[in-house]
């Protein structure tokens, strides 16, 4: 059935699965982070990705346009910086959840010695990532 398996239930709607081996890098990127598409382009209203942050790395300051974002900590310990100049911080441990509102400037940070993995769900069919020149700055031109 191709790269995603679909099954029809009695209501005529399908359940689609993406196997772990089919999760691919290729969604909107910020340096320092590896973003992998898991469920992308299968719904107009929601998508799911993985974010992997290598040890001692951080993303560019960015936002996700009109998309609200839910973050679930899978492994490692990371931080979400947000607010004026990134002065507010939320520590993310395995099992923790966070919500990042649409257009909220933030930065993912991994100050630790192990990879951080977060499962990400966004309110749009394809992830939006708008990298900024810095806190409170316009989008970068290299997008």
What digits encode the pLDDT tens for the residues 101-130? 999 999 999 999 999 999 999 999 999 999
Q: What total of structural domains would you count in the chain?
A: 1
Comparing 96 with 12, the larger pLDDT belongs to 96
Residue 56 lies in a domain: yes
- List beta partners, residue 38: none
Residue 117 lies in a domain: yes
Residue 1 lies in a domain: no
pLDDT at 8: 61
Residue 13 lies in a domain: no
Closest C-alpha among 5, 49, 53 to residue 23: 49
Residue 6 lies in a domain: no
Q: Which domain holds residue 51?
A: 24-131
Residue 52 lies in a domain: yes
Cβ neighbours, 10 Å, residue 43: 13
Residue 118 sits in a domain whose CATH number is 2.60.120.10
Tell me: pLDDT of 3 over 70.
no
Residue 123 lies in a domain: yes
**How far is Cα 133 from Cα 139, in angstroms, rounded to an integer?**
6
Comparing 77 with 18, the larger pLDDT belongs to 77
pLDDT at 4: 60
Burial class (CB in 10 A: 0-12, 13-18, 19+), 18: middle
Q: Max alpha carbon distance in the chain (Å)?
A: 51
Tell me: pLDDT of 95 over 60.
yes
């Amino acid at each position: 059935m191709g790269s995603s398996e679909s099954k029809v239930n009695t209501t005529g709607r399908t359940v689609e699965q993406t196997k772990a081996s089919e999760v691919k890098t290729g969604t909107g990127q910020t340096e320092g982070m590896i973003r992998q598409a898991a469920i992308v382009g299968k719904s107009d209203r929601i998508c799911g990705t993985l974010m992997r942050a290598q040890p001692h790395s951080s993303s560019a300051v960015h936002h996700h346009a009109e998309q609200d974002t839910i973050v679930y900590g899978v492994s490692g310990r990371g931080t979400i910086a947000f607010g004026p100049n990134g002065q507010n911080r939320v520590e993310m441990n395995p099992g923790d959840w966070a919500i990042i509102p649409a257009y909220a400037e933030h930065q993912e940070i991994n100050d630790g010695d192990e990879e951080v993995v977060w499962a990400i769900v966004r309110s749009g069919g394809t992830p939006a990532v708008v990298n900024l020149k810095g806190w409170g700055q316009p989008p970068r031109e290299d997008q």
